[in-house]
C-alpha cells in the first residue's frame, strides 16, 4: 500500500485571511460559528464562500463567459 504524504486539513472549507474577509465584506462573521479560526486566518464552508463571492461580484460569471467566448473566437480565426 502506498502512503500519501499530502495532508488535507479541511476538504470542503476555504481558508481566508482577515484581508480577504474585508474584501468580501464578511468581517462581521468573525467570532461566529460560520468561521473556524486557524493560525492567521479562518476556515469557511466552501458553499458559504461561493455564495459570498457571488454576492460580492454578481457579474463575475458574465465576464468569465464573455472572455471564454472571445478566446474561442480568436482560436477559430
Delimit the domains of the chain by residue range: 13-76
Q: How confident is the model at residue 5, as a pLDDT?
A: 63
DSSP 39-70: TTEEEEEHHHHHHHHHHH-TTHHHHHHHHHHH
Chain segment 20-63, per-residue pLDDT in tens: 999 988 899 999 999 999 999 999 999 999 999 888 888 888 99
Give yes or no for a contact between 49 and 14, defined as CB atoms under 8 angstroms apart.
yes
Q: Quote the pTM value.
A: 0.66
Q: 19, 23, 53, 16: which is closest to 37 by C-alpha?
A: 16
**The predicted structure's pLDDT at residue 20:** 92
Amino acid at each position: 500500500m502506498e502512503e500519501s504524504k499530502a495532508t488535507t486539513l479541511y476538504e470542503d472549507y476555504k481558508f481566508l485571511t482577515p484581508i480577504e474577509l474585508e474584501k468580501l465584506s464578511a468581517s462581521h462573521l468573525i467570532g461566529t460559528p460560520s468561521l473556524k479560526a486557524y493560525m492567521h486566518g479562518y476556515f469557511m464552508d466552501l458553499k458559504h464562500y461561493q455564495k459570498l463571492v457571488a454576492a460580492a461580484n454578481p457579474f463575475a460569471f458574465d465576464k468569465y463567459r464573455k472572455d471564454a467566448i472571445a478566446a474561442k473566437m480568436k482560436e477559430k480565426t
